[in-house]
Chains A and B, each alone.
Chain A
């Protein structure tokens, strides 16, 4: 057991001000930052508010800025941290309370790219089949848990709130390159808008912050190449 100082940026919606608060917590090296937050909420200050659900890096609820970098608190081990752990809400999203941010805009942009299978062809008797190589093409993009770490870390999103953000463009990739989907053209049109695909400047902040280690910039550049090819063909 070692003492760690949790420095948390808090926001009180009634007083409407940000403040830093410090908590000292005994932690084991193999525990996670989320365990520390739970301990603070249970034993020190019950008013501390944060989102958490599965605690196993699958639901994407507990994304927050830990030591200046967006990550999942349930996936960040204490042994990798310095003695002072700075925790802030995700950047660029409006703050509701403490570490809870308003992600409405994030999900609206996700809906905008039509994140569902579009296929008018009559369904086969069993499922629509895919070859292993076709599956491999979208395998990485499927692992996205929509925690918002990438979009909130993107400097373009900080300055342009209308920008779709890496997460929705990745979602568009997931369906555009899905061999079973037929809505490729519609989706490409959606992301080829002034605040869409071409606003990405390959900064790689999204790749650095993705808890699922998805090469988001790589996927976006592939979409850029596809858009360019289509432009020349038509």
Chain B
């Protein structure tokens, strides 16, 4: 009997809230993992006063500030979805998972807007 093996990682399947949340959680997780290296590289420059000054000037660049807003967005997305998953694992009714997801999207946008304005105000 010939059996066609069916081994694929990506498969077309109907998207819904939980699936979307999982994909976003994975992507933001991977991006944050790589950000840690960038963060370590920059904090490593704090040892030398000259390099410190250059780094601070570089960090004031508007494009870097926009990048910081993006980073805030990444952290918020990953953290809020992490809280959602923890709440479900702790025993919150699973029927609420979609409401919690879209609720945390709204909360995330509010925090991102307020945080973004603070970051932009910091440009000298």
B is a partner of A? yes
Please tell me if the beta carbons of A217 and B11 are within 8 angstroms of each other in the complex: no
With A94-B5, A94-B6: A215-B19 Cβ-Cβ less than 8 Å: no
A11 near B4: Cβ-Cβ < 8 Å: yes
**Nearest CB on B from A133, distance (A):** 18
Q: Does B54 contact A (CB under 8 A)?
A: no
Bound-complex Cα distance A65 to B13 (A): 9
Distance in angstroms between the alpha carbons of A69 and B118 in the assembled complex: 44
The answer to whether B9 touches A225 (Cβ under 8 A) is no
Q: B: which residues have CB within 8 A of A?
A: 1-9, 11-14, 16-19, 22, 85, 88-91, 93-95, 97
Q: Are A205 and B88 in contact (CB under 8 A)?
A: no
Chain A residues with a Cβ under 8 A of chain B: 11, 13-14, 16, 18, 65, 67-69, 91-96, 101-102, 153, 155, 158-159, 161, 201-205, 207-208, 215, 217-218, 221-222, 224-225
Tell me what chain B mostly uses at the interface: helix, strand, loop, or mixed. Answer: loop
Residue from B1, B2, B6, B13 within 8 A of A205 (CB atoms) = B13
B94 touches A215 (CB 8 A): yes
Q: Does A158 contact B11, Cβ atoms closer than 8 Å?
A: yes
Q: Give bound CA distance, A84 to B110, whole Å.
A: 41
B3 lies within 8 A of A95 (CB): yes
